[in-house]
Structure 1
Amino acid sequence: MELVVYLAGEIHTNWRDELREKAKISDLPLTFVGPMTDHERSDNIGEEVLGKQPTSVLKDEAASNINNLRTKLLMEKSDVVIALFGEKYKQWNTAMDASTAVTLGKPLILIRPETLHHPLKELSNKASVTVETVDQAIKVLNYIFE
């Protein structure tokens, strides 16, 4: 059995690489998908497809439509979603992706530091599992294959 794992979360740190490497070391049969992590590409995809937009709001709308389509398709094909909330960046996209996973009925592993317990308590309550570290998320994935 192989699982497809959607990696939702901030794109400014290397947590995805860390998780992929630890999954590889554990020899887990996983395929990873996720949002576009090239921030510039994500912001500009609307204009790449539709051409120059007359305002920054319309540019954002065009990019958002294409990014949302990508997220929806990849998340629907995933078996489990891992959403990481870090402390440094505002994480509206992570919250949206985690909520989408819950709405789609996808198992959700939420990674968040203890300091974010209070602001994420409702989302954490909807997640299948809440952990504080990438290592703990890997342990959860390992357990699935025991």
Structure 2
Amino acid sequence: MAYRVYLSGEIHTDWRDQIIRGCKDSGLDIEFSSAVTNHEASDAAGDCLGEEGSQFWRDHKSAKVNAIRIQTVIKHCDLAIIRFGDKYKQWNAAFDAGYCAALGKPYITLHDEAIVHALKEVDGAAQAWATSPAQVVEILTYITNQA
């Protein structure tokens, strides 16, 4: 069975590439999807709807356009990996985790131990908490090889 895995969260490191490469090297049948990882493109997603005089309304429109893609992908995934980095606050990732929880979609959080307390509710609803992309690959290997 091919798994559909959504990769959510932090965009400043290569964690997505590490997971995708690790799964490919392990021969796993997984189809990956992700939020838009180009920060400028994501911020400009609503610009086609007209120029705004306020940054709030520009962000508001872009968030709604981005939500079309994100909500659709989450609804169709089998599992989400949600990465929280230590440099920036990933409120969008927390929202994705909550959306997964509301839909009953399993998710794995990926973050350092230093932010366990801040993410206690997000981790509490997750099926697993990993601290490295390699651990995520191990989990994906286990669940895809247990047919």
TM-score, with normalisation over the residues of structure 2?
A: 0.94
Question: Which amino acid in structure 2 is aligned with residue 34 of structure 1?
Answer: S
Aligned to 1:8: 8
Extract unaligned runs of 5+ from structure 1: none
Alignment of 1:1-146 (within 5 A): 1-48=1-48, 50-146=49-145
| Residues matched between the structures, number | 145
Extract unaligned runs of 5+ from structure 2: none
Inter-partner Cα distance in structure 1 for 2:144 and 2:8: 22
- 1:51 deviates by 2.0
Task: Give per-residue Cα distances to partners, 1:80-116, cap 9 Å, x unaligned.
Answer: 0000112112111111111111111101111111111
Inter-partner Cα distance in structure 1 for 2:76 and 2:11: 21
Question: Which amino acid in structure 1 is aligned with residue 12 of structure 2?
Answer: H
Question: Which amino acid in structure 2 is aligned with residue 52 of structure 1?
Answer: E
Inter-partner Cα distance in structure 1 for 2:21 and 2:92: 24
Task: Give per-residue Cα distances to partners, 1:1-40, cap 9 Å, x unaligned.
Answer: 1011000011111111111111111111011111111111
Task: Give per-residue Cα distances to partners, 1:63-83, cap 9 Å, x unaligned.
Answer: 011011111001101000000
Question: Which amino acid in structure 1 is aligned with residue 27 of structure 2?
Answer: D
Alpha carbon RMSD of aligned pairs, Å?
1.0
Any conservation in 1 of the 2:3–2:144 contact (CA below 8 Å)? Answer: no
Any conservation in 1 of the 2:108–2:128 contact (CA below 8 Å)? Answer: yes
Inter-partner Cα distance in structure 2 for 1:52 and 1:101: 32
Inter-partner Cα distance in structure 2 for 1:145 and 1:37: 26
Question: Which amino acid in structure 1 is aligned with residue 45 of structure 2?
Answer: I
TM-score, with normalisation over the residues of structure 1?
A: 0.95
Inter-partner Cα distance in structure 1 for 2:110 and 2:7: 11
Q: Which runs of 4+ in 1 moved over 6 A?
A: none
Inter-partner Cα distance in structure 1 for 2:61 and 2:9: 21
Question: Which amino acid in structure 1 is aligned with residue 69 of structure 2?
Answer: R
Inter-partner Cα distance in structure 1 for 2:105 and 2:23: 20
